[in-house]
Amino acid sequence: MLSLIADIVGMAGTCLVVGAFFLLQLNKANPKGLLYNLMNLCGALFLLFSLCINFNLASFVIEIFWIAASLIGLYSYIKNNKQQPQ
């Protein structure tokens, strides 16, 4: 049962990461924007959860880097938005 839940969460993560990429390619998302980075972060976290149940080292490592890149993007987004006058 836990494996099934992990697969469902992992597929949701895959949909988020791939969906973010498609939105980027369709010019519907900004690579430095909030939506793109949140979709990537949530997707990578969901995939990481799935990988904790059904472990694969290579996939686990790439998700760690994907999370780091998404966090850097979110930090940059927040930093740039705080500097802009309102």
Which tokens is 20 given? 């973010």
Query: What pTM was estimated for this model as a whole?
Result: 0.91
Residue 56 DSSP code: -
Contact between 17 and 39 under an 8 Å Cβ cutoff? The reply is yes
Q: Look up residue 11 and give its amino acid.
A: M
pLDDT in tens, 15-61: 999 999 999 999 999 999 999 999 999 999 999 999 999 999 999 99
**Cα–Cα distance list, 45 to 28, 32, 49, 70 (Å):** 23, 19, 6, 10
Q: How many residues does the chain have?
A: 86
Residue 13 has pLDDT above 80, yes or no: yes
Distance between CA atoms of 27 and 49, rounded to whole angstroms?
30
At 83, the pLDDT band (50, 70, 90 cuts) reads confident
